[in-house]
A and B are shown apart, each in its own frame.
Chain A
Amino acid sequence: MNKIVSKKDFSELVVQLEVEAPLIARARKAGHFVIVKLDKLGERIPLTISAADTEKGTITLVVQRVGLTSNKLCNMQVGDEIQDLVGPLGKATHIEHFGTVVCAGGGVGVAPLLPIVQAMKQAGNRVISVLAARSKNLIILEDEIRKWSDEVIIMTDDGSYGEKGLVTAGVESIIQREKVDCCVTIGPAIMMKFVSLLTAKYNVPTVASLNTIMVDGTGMCGGCRVSVGGQTKFVCVDGPEFDAHQVDWDGMMRRMGSYKAYEKEEMKKLG
């Protein structure tokens, strides 16, 4: 069950895993996520699905080393089994023919962005993707994104690849040059916040995919709650995608830090 069939290191921090999960592979759509629990005393964490192969019956997860569980998962090898894997969860991305769509991904957020880029292209949109990372070695899935994009803009903080600058500079250059009908952004919360502030300035409708703390992932615990347009929403069942301009980003980022102190302690278990 849930056997890892292939593994690829994108960088020291980011690993791509292809996992046997035939039912999830068949049922998932762009935007869906899964919950994994690695072993008996493991925690449950959400991970967005970046691809699926229905013939092989596998899904692909891209994992960044952040806390204890993501590190443990990145350390797993081909042939190892993930004890519990459940999904697909959340609402699928709303895909339609908008016109021109900008897909802005930062760091490991490019992985869950990939199926959305693909679906947006297949729905007839002109898709311009902006991929951003600290430096060249952290840009992931560039070829796959290119395959489904009309244009790709690469942004790196240190200028080691593409343009030097933040993701927002890339997005703004597009908006200033042509009409953008929709923007989708996935990445670190702080990045999505600034993309959201930028597109709000230009009145470009924007969707962001949130990756909050979850326990069950099925609407039961409320740990993932976030204020959207002044109302409390649950990321696991109401999201994970929301109107970025309505999200209380500061409140969300604060809640994401709930267990920072514990995480440090927990990391000692890695030895």
Chain B
Amino acid sequence: MTREEKIAAARSQAWREALRKSMKAKDRTDLPRVRMNELDAEYRSHNREEVNQGLTAEQAVQEARRCLDCANPTCMTGCPVEISIPSFVKNIERGEFLEAAKVLKETSSLPAVCGRVCPQEKQCESQCFYVQKLGKPAVAIGYLERFAADYERESGQTILPEQAPKNGIKVAVVGSGPAGLSFAGDMAKYGYDVTVFEALHEIGGVLKYGIPEFRLPNAIVDCEIDNLRRMGVSFEKDIIIGKTLSLDDLKAQGFQGIFVASGAGLPNFMNIPGENLINIMSSNEYLTRVNLMDAANPESDTPVPFGKRVAVIGGGNTAMDSVRTARRLGAERAMIVYRRSEEEMPARLEEVKHAKEEGVEFMTLHNPVEYLGDEQGRVCQMRLQKMELGEPDASGRRRPVPIEGAIETVDVDIVIVSVGVSPNPLIPNSIPDLEISRKGTIVVDDNMRSSLPIIFAGGDIVRGGATVILAMGDGRRAAAAMHEQLKK
């Protein structure tokens, strides 16, 4: 069956047809979009509890009614893993929440994660009929995804996806972040014997070390990882492929396919004077200390500085995660310093909104040019160049241009640099024949196949810095292509 035929077959089931007829389209489109239940901003800015509280069953059913169950569901084209969106939404409308979760799991190994961290407003929801044709807010697909995944988990009736019989073929995954986990889930479904190798002491990659607890609780990630374990995926932590074990070692152990999803390692710095002063660090370091090492917990042996005035340089999601973390660690002034205007910010709208509600200051059109230190070498001030917007640049966004002579000096205790990352060099350096781009990413074809037939790659090691869902989409595509290659 083609994709279109599958969609049509699902849509023509009797219950779907009856459900569509049960309510007039006009009545559906008149319903307002549901609002996410959130913790109070003042309360939450002093703890690590999850900000979004999820929808109640009543809210979810009501929101699901808004979906018109389109014959041509454009929302699906906006999803990198092509979730059968109307199918799961309509199952929620008819109250079959477990069935909805099952639909999600057909294509996504981590629905509870995606429901929380995907930029739906730029993906599925941006393609929704409501946005495209009605000029109204999209169906809250992300909230509904989270609802179904959470409902299943909390019900204790988690059903594993159907798996093909074991074929005995061993495949290895390098890195246990979203790309690796998504690949592992799909290969387990195809019947492969999957081993995931992780360099750190925790499984989950950026979902653990990067995304904070208040946005994605570790317990949710662990639950999804446990599901993969139950499907037979094995995880080996504290092993660095290219260091502890070489490519040849993996081949000798009988692995017939290797998926490299080692992530974006190296944090970028701006190379401006004073950037190596004490208490200036990358967002990777700050978030790793707080999230992975639990450094804010007095029982943890890992230290992290607590500052009253914290500046985060950058305007992406990682910058928002960092500044909101700083606020929770007691910063009285938590500042975003971003060289463009708010309109160009790459962060999700929800993150910006939450940050503002939590008292984060936004210093847009400011760019640091120098840091000044005290007599002990700790940063104490930053010099900011004020900017204005000029003509659009290569990214299509208006280029920030310095306003001559407009320099501002601001007192700071901690500076967190969040201006992007470069690919981790460990794998590219350890496999000499692998084709690497000038930027240091692994070069792959449309099927995520590298220049070496045994190696596929995906996620940030290929993209150089993207989102959880794009990484998962890569994992899924690589799994399909590797399966095609190995079943021959």
- A interface with B by C-beta (< 8 Å): 23-24, 27, 37, 41-44, 68-69, 83-89, 215-216, 218-223, 225-227, 231-232, 234, 237, 248, 251, 254-255, 257-259, 262-263, 266, 269
Contacts and interface: CB of A to CB of B under 8 A. Distances in A.
Task: Identify the 7 closest CB pairs spanning chains A and B, nearest first.
Answer: A262-B303, A221-B285, A254-B377, A43-B302, A43-B301, A219-B265, A222-B282
Contact of B281 (A216, A222, A227, A269): A222
B267 interface: yes
Contacts of B246: 27
B369 interface: no
Nearest to A261: B303
B278 A257 contact: yes
Contacts of A24: 244
Given A43-B301, A68-B301, A222-B269, A84 B201 contact: yes
B95 interface: no
B284 interface: yes
B454 interface: no
Contact of B288 (A84, A216, A269): A216
Interface stretch (B65-73, B235-243, B396-404): B235-243
Contacts, number: 122
B87 interface: no
Chain A contact residues: helix, strand, loop or mixed: mixed
B279 interface: yes
Contacts of A42: 301
B313 to A, nearest CB: 13
Nearest to B267: A222
Contact of A220 (B243, B271, B281, B424): B424
Contacts of B245: 23, 27
Interface residues of B, number: 42
Contacts of B201: 37, 44, 83-84, 86
B275 interface: yes
Interface string B284-315: 11001100011001011111000000000000
B278 A255 contact: yes
B338 to A, nearest CB: 20
A267 B281 CA distance: 24
B243 A222 contact: no
Contacts of B244: 23-24, 27, 86-88
A84 B299 CA distance: 18
Contacts of B271: 231-232
Contacts of B240: 86-87, 89, 218
A226 B424 CA distance: 18
B470 to A, nearest CB: 20
